[in-house]
A and B are shown apart, each in its own frame.
Chain A
């Protein structure tokens, strides 16, 4: 069960990424958990420097970008 974390202090870009990641995971029919990481030390601990970022099971997949739902689905499709 993949854990998808969206890192960012909570600006509109982070919300957009969270929505798209959610839609992408749903479109794949994944059994997943979506979490938001908003605390700065927590974001840094994941090695993320530019937000918004998507971390899946501890691996940074997206940094400082908002990919399309399809691109996010491609990123998520390897996880189960």
Chain B
């Protein structure tokens, strides 16, 4: 017999737990998967050993292949408007998707080592400007769902993480997107990726530091400190290598499966810009000379229905047409960090 309350119906409020919590110390909450078997390891290791070189091989030949398709199969002149747009689309769609898959694989793998609980415990021991810097950096990699912002905030403050560091973390986490960071690295090199990370981390650092200086602690609503809170140890899985790899592959499936339509749309927009928008126009609107280009880019970016991966091809096309780097970065961070649609999707 299943005694189940319908989960899709209205929220049910449950009285506070009165019995003492059977809290498991030292990672006892963790799932204990069966010991990873050697054969499983070999199977996955072998899979990776074939897939990774193949990935690089295909990636390397994407450009000539896209050019060949455009010229010989579709019979388009690659210097024409339509031809260059089509070539851009054919080259960028597989390229961005492949890069995304690799980046998500790596990032998810790294994220199996970090959790908000662990970040909290690291930050609880720090104070001063260092705590802000550390919080800003950890914010890049800690996996974090935007719906968690409020409990995360309370959880951090309750175990003694300075308020400023908590803010630094909460600013940095959505602003510097780890997937976007490595996509930028793959598509444009370390200078642009570094500029992106540095901008986000600086803003998170400075805003958290200022908020910490303002001594806002007394303004916290009293219930924040009054509600019972049993800080739980990081409940992350005790994982072996194969489990982490499994989680990474699952991450790739879920994320790439979810965002590929946005990427295709992004690439289509990028292809249009690449083929049809004249450089002179772009330079006038988004070039270095126009002081209003940065705020304008932010305003255009906010309502855009896109996400980290989908905006990459647009960024690429804008840069290729001579838009100023700062303007494009402002545009990108607006799309990723402030985008309302992405919050809703999550």
The answer to whether A50 and B154 touch across the interface, beta carbons within 8 angstroms, is no
| Chain B residues touching A, majority SS | loop
The answer to whether B3 and A43 touch across the interface, beta carbons within 8 angstroms, is no
The answer to whether A39 and B17 touch across the interface, beta carbons within 8 angstroms, is no
- Of the stretches B20-28, B268-276, B295-303, the one at the interface is B20-28
Cβ of B72 under 8 Å from chain A: no
The answer to whether B7 and A50 touch across the interface, beta carbons within 8 angstroms, is no
The answer to whether B7 and A18 touch across the interface, beta carbons within 8 angstroms, is yes
Within 8 A of B (CB), among A53-78: 57-65, 67-68, 71, 74-75
Knowing A19-B7, A59-B24 are in contact, say whether A42-B13 is a contact too (CB < 8 A): yes
Knowing A36-B7, A45-B17 are in contact, say whether A50-B31 is a contact too (CB < 8 A): no
Neighbouring B residues of A34 by C-beta, 8 Å? 4-5, 7
Pick the contact of B227 from A38, A44, A59 — CB < 8 Å?
A: A44
User: In the docked arrangement, what's the CA distance between A26 and B2, Å?
Assistant: 8
Cβ of B16 under 8 Å from chain A: yes
The answer to whether B21 and A40 touch across the interface, beta carbons within 8 angstroms, is no
The answer to whether A64 and B3 touch across the interface, beta carbons within 8 angstroms, is no
The answer to whether B4 and A10 touch across the interface, beta carbons within 8 angstroms, is no
Within 8 A of A (CB), among B142-162: 143-148, 150-152, 154-156
Knowing A47-B23, A48-B232 are in contact, say whether A61-B227 is a contact too (CB < 8 A): no
User: In the docked arrangement, what's the CA distance between A26 and B274, Å?
Assistant: 52
CB < 8 Å A-B pair total: 147
Pick the contact of B21 from A6, A47, A68 — CB < 8 Å?
A: A47
- Of the stretches B43-51, B95-103, B115-123, the one at the interface is B115-123
The answer to whether B17 and A46 touch across the interface, beta carbons within 8 angstroms, is yes
User: In the docked arrangement, what's the CA distance between A8 and B150, Å?
Assistant: 11
Cβ of B250 under 8 Å from chain A: yes
Neighbouring A residues of B3 by C-beta, 8 Å? 1, 31-33
User: In the docked arrangement, what's the CA distance between A1 and B2, Å?
Assistant: 10
Neighbouring B residues of A50 by C-beta, 8 Å? 115-117, 144-145, 148, 151-152, 155
The answer to whether B7 and A64 touch across the interface, beta carbons within 8 angstroms, is no
Neighbouring A residues of B236 by C-beta, 8 Å? 63, 65
User: In the docked arrangement, what's the CA distance between A71 and B236, Å?
Assistant: 13
The answer to whether A71 and B31 touch across the interface, beta carbons within 8 angstroms, is yes
Expressed in whole angstroms, the minimum distance between the Cβ of B233 and any Cβ of chain A is: 9
Residue ranges of A at the interface with B (Cβ–Cβ < 8 Å): 1, 5-6, 8-15, 18-19, 22, 26, 30-52, 57-65, 67-68, 71, 74-75
Residue ranges of B at the interface with A (Cβ–Cβ < 8 Å): 1-5, 7-8, 11-14, 16-17, 19, 21-24, 29, 31, 33, 115-117, 120, 143-148, 150-152, 154-156, 223, 227-232, 234-236, 250, 345-346
Q: List the 6 shortest-distance A-B pairs measured between CB atoms, nearest first.
A: A49-B155, A47-B230, A38-B11, A47-B232, A11-B147, A50-B116
Q: Taking A11-B146, A34-B4 as given, write out 4 further A-B residue pairs in contact, using a Cβ cutoff of 8 Å, ordered by the A residue number.
A: A35-B14, A37-B14, A60-B232, A65-B143
Write 14 A-B pairs (CB below 8 A) sorted by A numbering. A11-B147, A13-B147, A22-B7, A30-B2, A36-B12, A40-B150, A44-B155, A44-B227, A45-B230, A47-B21, A49-B154, A50-B116, A58-B21, A63-B117
